[in-house]
Structure 1
């Protein structure tokens, strides 16, 4: 028998944002960047991905598995 399932996992991952900052010096550009959220591109750095445990998430669930009808069939809340 085959089952169609999907898993939702809470992860921690580094994200890289790319900016074009106009400034007279690198120091000024860094200062301006601290208040910026207008980036032109972003990427996930996948090799930094870490799956979190419920203990690392204040006892809350970090992994859920659902069946093809979107029914929750497993949660690691009480593992």
Structure 2
């Protein structure tokens, strides 16, 4: 199973998050998550932890006004 699948599984386990995980052409993964701030922080903590599959060189976070329109948490 890949990084996006584990990211989705973790978001669903945390609960209350919608959004997606998407492979970018340069090898990075974009994760967009909307939900309660504490749930978003839990996902960020996991992304920064040693429990993620593969290698994570860094996590850049950008906070913005939720846009909505996501149904569940998708792998793109």
Range class of TM-score, shorter chain:
under 0.3
- Which structure's residues are more often helix, by fraction? 2
**What is the TM-score normalised by the length of structure 2?**
0.21
**What is the TM-score normalised by the length of structure 1?**
0.20
- Which structure's residues are more often strand, by fraction? 1
